[in-house]
Amino acid sequence: MKVDRFGESFIWGASISAAQTESATDSGGKGPSIWDEFCNRPSRFFKKHPIKNSEHLKNSADFYNHYKKDIDHLKFIGFKHFRFSIAWARVMPDGENINLEGFEFYQSIVAYCLKNDITPWITLYHWDLPLALEKKGGWTNPEIVNWFDHYSKTCIQYLPNVKNWILLNEPSVFVGAGYFFGIHAPGRKGVTPFIKALHHANLCINKTYYSLKNINPDLNVGSSFSFTHIESTDSKPQNKKAAKLADTLINRLFFEPIIGKGYPIENIKLFSKSQKNYLKKDEYLLKTPLDFIGVQNYTRELFKYNFLNPLLPIKHIPASKRTKELTMMNWEIHPPSIYHTLIKLSQYQLNTPLYITENGIALNDVIGNNGIQDYQRIIFYQSHLQEVLNAKDEGVDIKGYFTWSLIDNFEWAEGYEPRFGLIHVDFVTKKRTLKESAQWFNQFLGRKLDSTLK
């Protein structure tokens, strides 16, 4: 497989997010986010700390003070596109009023990207809601639609040189993990907060898309979605039906309303009649002609029928119980998943370009005498890129690929043990070290690596 098989116009980039890499949680006028508060929650005798090893996002890669070095590395690896996010609480500490120093930081990043012929792609929301807004209800408050719209319009006003915008990063994850299971910030649990947060996130995509396009029709505005490939454990009808329900809850529920197909909720017994009505009442507002769709895929999951739970008759079979091919996140390594995801999306016949905005693997990378020999990551990328190419060759309109991630980061509730980066970060000294996978990408993309950056 050679890079030219993807075509000259195919773009290559790497991604990070603000909350996972910036550190500097109280620098430059930044206000607290829901993840600052989540990390600060005390451990109790009967209740574990919500973050593994009681770690805190303030101790991450310090991109705030090292962004030039990281962009230099990105350039020398050979990427021409850089996806990063804005910390809402850095530019609006209370969620609504402007902090100029915060915007000046992102203006500096954009300027440095453009100076180095790197195209910035900015994600407006990558899970770090200002704590002040969460205290008003956060994503369960209908006013979030107006808050997010105001914030987004302000961002494009202060960053006029940015063309490519991603509205929300993986609503299924920040809504599901944060407002249903309570394992991510803000730590809420239950069907009702989940339903409200889900619907308001979809309304945000619609309203803000039109707001940004009305200000500047030339902007390239999309949103990214998590797509997990779902299969049944076998071909038994009840297990296939369970897998279909799981696919509805994990994938279709967050994507199909945006493409005009409405909420696929008729057969979900978990949702009450009033909750279904809440979702349906504004359904006509949700169809959004996004300029592109960000596709994020990491693995597949298997499900079977569970007769013990009549409201949600599905049972998840953890990857650890069925394979040894696992990442540090205990996700199955299954390259065909990304192919099946792309083919399934193409069957919607949307005529909307697709970009892989995240794909990568978490490993336990260790620096040795010969650097960081993360050959498993190289194999992961080789196999997944081949599957992307297979889908592209079959006519799927895939325009680009962003790795996750450029640098090692704070991996939410999993803390710092799982490392996704092409660049190793010593979280104490903040020293950067290129991994073998970074050098593989350099060779694949056809750039000569500057040895001084190793």
Residues forming the active site = 170, 358
The three-state (H, E, C) secondary structure of the chain, written as one string: CCHHHHCCCCEEEEECCHHHHCCCCCCCCCCCEHHHHHHHCCCECCECCCCHHHCCHHHCCCHHHHHHHHHHHHHHHCCCEEEEECCHHHHCCCCCCCCHHHHHHHHHHHHHHHHCCCEEEEEEECCCCEHHHHCCCHHHCCCHHHHHHHHHHHHHHHCCCCCEEEEEECHHHHHHHHHCECCCCCCCECHHHHHHHHHHHHHHHHHHHHHHHHHCCCCEEEEEEECCEEEECCCCHHHHHHHHHHHHHHHHHHHCCCCCCCCCCCCCCCCCHHHHHHHHCCHHHCCCCCCEEEEECCCEEEEEECCCCCCCCEEEECHHHCCCCECCCCCECCCHHHHHHHHHHHCCCCCCCEEEEECCCCECCCCECCECCCHHHHHHHHHHHHHHHHHHHCCCCEEEEEEECCECCCCHHHCCCCECCCEEECCCCCCEEECHHHHHHHHHHCCCCCHHHC
Distance of CA 188 to the CA centre of its chain: 20
Distance of CA 369 to the CA centre of its chain: 33
CB-CB contact of 338 with 331 (8 Å): no
| Dist CA 113 CA 204 (whole Å) | 28
- Phi/psi for 174 (5° steps) reads -70, -25
Q: Is 447 left (phi over 0), alpha (psi -120 to 50) or beta?
A: beta
CB-CB contact of 165 with 122 (8 Å): yes
| Dist CA 274 CA 398 (whole Å) | 39
CB atoms within 10 A of CB 330: 13
